[in-house]
Each structure stands twice: as structure tokens, then as C-alpha cells.
Structure 1
């Protein structure tokens, strides 16, 4: 007998509130970055479009529309943007701290399942950014697929 009681599990992107939530998150976050003594020197020359590009990148990774890819962005291109930036573990930790602080202020979902998946992606992505930032070039295929991040081990939103 077929189970007709299946529920569609939303993507992390949908659960967070869609593109408006990501654009507001990264807009408010980068205001904090530019006011932060550790991060401001790293980001003070970012383009006016940087906030939106990062919002679209993260939204796409978390199951949203392919706006970043359709705007000409790629995972290889994102890696290239970090080359020779010489980011440190202190930069990484502060970046994550400010982003999570902003997520709390904007009341992004704080259920354990969403935050577990969201923080896992931030940890993974920022650690790769630090590694790549200490390289001058990356050899390899330019058609590296965009990461696709889901709910992971919890499997979906909290149902308590």
C-alpha cells in the first residue's frame, strides 16, 4: 500500500524565508562587517553588488533559485575571489559570529535542525575560503558544480 501521508520537506532556503530573508541577512551582515575592526580592512573595497552576490550564492547553495549561476557566477568563480586574500582563522570565526548574530537579530529560524544545517554549511564554506585565500591560484576544472546543501542528518525541520 502506498503511503499517501507524505509531507514535502522544504529546502533550507524555503524554511529560512526565501530570497528576501537572504538579501536582508547579507545586507545587514555586511553593515556589521564594515563596522568591525578585524573584518573591515578585508572587505572595505568590496563592490556594491557584493552583498547581493553572496546572498544569491548562499541562497542557491541552500536550495534556492539559481540566480547566482544565471548571473554568470560559478563555484570556481567564488573560489577565485578568495585567492591571495590571506584570511586567518580569526577572520573566519568573526565572519561566522557576525553572520549568526545577524541571523538571530532578523529572527531566521532557530530550530535545531535548520541551525545545524546552516552552521554546518557556514563552517564548511568558510574553512574552504580560508584554505583558498592562502593560495595564489587553483588548478583544476572550472566547471566545479555549485555546492548543494540540505538538511543533513536531521532530515528536515523540527516537528516537536
Structure 2
């Protein structure tokens, strides 16, 4: 069986997904506090992270490292509403980007989003390193 990266369509499809998703969060009033303005490399970094977590190239780890993602979420104080909206908008973008619609793929994407958004939310409230989620590397998501 192919991995999620190959099944999704690889870098081109994931970049299309992240571009659509990022436009959604920037325009969303619920997520405005978390995504206040467009960052020049955010789509590229999101693409790298998703590609790596789906079994593709390890560019995110090599170029940025997982500490980067921890720092990005630190002190954002992500609410349940923001986390849920993030997941909903991402799933909308998956549809709009034309990624595979088969249930095994969609279930894997949903579980990846739920897990990742929970890690980000926890890290966003951590006052000390001890309060951070123990994850310290890009997770390799499977079917």
C-alpha cells in the first residue's frame, strides 16, 4: 500500500491544499488571533510538515526542526473553538484541493488533524517546558 504522501498526490497536491487552507484561516474571524497576518513561508512550511508526516521527504525536520513548530504555537492560548474551526477549515480545503475522497484516506487525515491540533493547543497553553506535549518530532502518520 502506498503511504499517505503518495496517495494524496505528493508535493503538488499538498501545496495546493495548504494554499487553500491558509487563505481560509487568514480570512476566518475565529482564527484571526492565531493567524493575524500572512507569513511569507507559512504555506511552504505547512506543505513540508504535512508531506513529512504523511511519509514524504523530511524537509521540515532538516530545514526547521520540530522545535520550530513548538515555538510557533507557544503562548497562542488556542481555544477549543479555534481548534475545532482549524480542523473544519482544513477538511474543507482537502475537498477543495481535490485530494482523494476515499474513506481510509479521509479518516487518516481527520485523525492526523485531531491529534496535531490537540498537541498544538496543549503547547499553546504551556507555561513551562514540562507542560508541553511530549511529542518532539514530526509524527509519521499511517493508514
- TM-score between both structures, scaled by the size of structure 1: 0.81
Q: CA offset at residue 54 of structure 1?
A: 1.2
Unaligned runs of 5+ in 2: none
Contact 1:83/1:134 (CA < 8 Å) preserved in 2?
A: yes
130-139 or 55-64, larger mean C-alpha shift:
130-139
Q: CA offset at residue 74 of structure 1?
A: 1.8
Change (3 A) 1:137 1:45: farther
Unaligned runs of 5+ in 1: 1-8, 152-160
Q: CA offset at residue 46 of structure 1?
A: 4.8
Contact 1:83/1:137 (CA < 8 Å) preserved in 2?
A: no
Change (3 A) 1:110 1:130: same
CA distance in 1: counterparts of 2:25 and 2:95, whole angstroms: 16
Question: 1:69 aligned to 2:52?
Answer: no
CA distance in 1: counterparts of 2:88 and 2:136, whole angstroms: 28
CA distance in 1: counterparts of 2:41 and 2:88, whole angstroms: 22
Superposition RMSD in Å: 1.8
| 1:1-160 matches, cutoff 5 A | 9-71=1-63, 73-139=64-130, 144-151=136-143
CA distance in 2: counterparts of 1:82 and 1:35, whole angstroms: 19
Q: Higher helix fraction: Structure 1 or Structure 2?
A: 2
CA distance in 2: counterparts of 1:137 and 1:77, whole angstroms: 16
Contact 2:55/2:140 (CA < 8 Å) preserved in 1?
A: yes
Q: Could you say which structure has the larger radius of gyration?
A: 1
Residues 59-117 of structure 1: CA deviation (Å, up to 9, x unaligned): 1011011111221x222321221111000010011011011001111221111110111
Contact 1:75/1:147 (CA < 8 Å) preserved in 2?
A: no
Contact 1:23/1:51 (CA < 8 Å) preserved in 2?
A: yes
